[in-house]
Amino acid sequence: MSPTPPVLAAQARASAHLADARMAIELETPEMTLNIGPQHPSTHGVFRIVAEVDGEKLLKADPVLGYMHRGYEKLAEVRTYPQITTLVNRIDWLSGYCNEIPFILGVERLMGIEAPPRAQYIRTILSELARISTFLVFLGSYGIELGALTPFFHTMRDREKVLDLIEGVTGGRFHPNFNRVGGVKDDLPAGFIDATRQVMNTVEDICKDVETLLFGNDIFQQRTTGVGLIPLEKGLAYGMSGANIRASGCAVDVRRDEPYLVYDDLEFDVVMDDRCDSYARAWCRLQETLQSVRIVRQCLDRLPAGKIMAKVPRIIQVPPGEVYTRAENPLGELGYHIISRGGRIPYRVKVRTPSFSNVSVLPWLLKDVWMADVITILGSLYFILGDVDR
Partner 1 sequence: MEKDWLDHGITILVVILIFTVQMLITTFLVLFERKFVAWMQVRIGPNRAGPWGLFQTVADALKLMVKEIFVPRGADRTIYMLAPFLTVFPAFMAFAILPIGPSFEFVHGDKTHVVAIQGANLNVGILWLLAMSSVAVYGVMLAGWASGSKYSLLGSVRASAQVISYEAALSLSILPVLLWTGTLDLQEIVAAQSGWNWYAFGLLLIPFVSFFISGMAETNRLPFDLVEAESELVAGFHTEYGGARFMFFFLAEYINIMTISAVAVTLFLGGWNGPWVPVQADPAGWQVALGVLYFFLKTFVLLFLFIWIRATLPRMRYDQLMSFGWKILIPVNLVFLMVLAGLVVMQEVGAWPAGFFR
Would you tell me which residues interact with partner 1 (CB under 8 A)? 32, 34-35, 40-42, 53, 55-56, 143-150, 152-154, 157, 214, 217, 219-220, 222-223, 370-375
> Rounded to 5 degrees, what are φ and ψ at 327?
-150, 160
Minimum distance from residue 366 beta carbon to partner 1 (Å) = 14
In whole angstroms, the minimum distance from the beta carbon of 212 to partner 1 comes to 13
Helices 192-209 and 117-145, packing angle to 10 deg: 30
User: Which phi and psi angles does 279 have, rounded to 5°?
Assistant: -60, -45
**34 vs 270, which CB is nearer to partner 1?**
34
Residues 6+ apart with CB under 8 A from 3: none
Q: What is the DSSP string of 161-230?
A: HHHHHHHHHHS-SS----EETTEESSPPPTTHHHHHHHHHHHHHHHHHHIIIIIIT-HHHHHHHTTSS--
> Minimal distance in Å, beta carbon 227 to partner 1?
9
Smallest distance from the beta carbon of 153 to partner 1, in angstroms? 4
The whole-angstrom distance between residue 166's C-alpha and the CA centroid of its chain comes to: 19
- Among residues 37 and 335, whose Cβ is nearest to partner 1? 37
58 versus 181: smaller Cβ distance to partner 1: 58
Do residues 78 and 348 make contact, with C-beta atoms less than 8 angstroms apart? no
**How far is 303 from 117, CA to CA, in rounded Å?**
9
DSSP state of 330: T
CB of 371 to partner 1, least distance (A): 6
Cα–Cα distance measured from residue 388 to residue 63, given in angstroms and rounded to the nearest whole number:
12
* Least distance from partner 1 to the Cβ atom of residue 253, Å: 29
Cβ distance to partner 1 smaller for residue 37 or 332: 37
CB of 153 or CB of 364, closer to partner 1: 153
**H and E: helices and strands count for the chain:** 16, 9
CA 170 to chain centre: 22
Contact 376, 277 (CB under 8 A): no
In angstroms, give the least distance from the CB of 33 to partner 1. 8
**Least spacing, CB of residue 110 vs partner 1, in Å:** 45
Q: How far is the CB of 18 from partner 1 (least distance, A)?
A: 24
Q: Which is nearer to partner 1, 119 or 206 (CB)?
A: 206
Residue type, 98: C
Of 349, 290, 342, 295, whose CA–CA distance to 323 is shortest? 349
Q: In the chain, what is the straight-line distance between the N-terminal and C-terminal CA atoms, in Å? A: 75
User: Which residues fall within 8 angstroms of residue 14, CB to CB, at 6 or more apart?
Assistant: none
The nearer residue to partner 1, 3 or 41, going by C-beta atoms, is: 41
Given a contact cutoff of 8 angstroms between Cβ atoms, the answer to whether 94 and 174 are in contact is yes
The nearer residue to partner 1, 186 or 211, going by C-beta atoms, is 211
Closest approach, Cβ 40 to partner 1, in A, equals: 7
Of 43 and 357, nearer to partner 1 (C-beta) is 43
Nearer to partner 1, 346 or 379 (CB): 379
User: Within 10 Å of residue 253's Cβ, how many Cβ atoms?
Assistant: 24
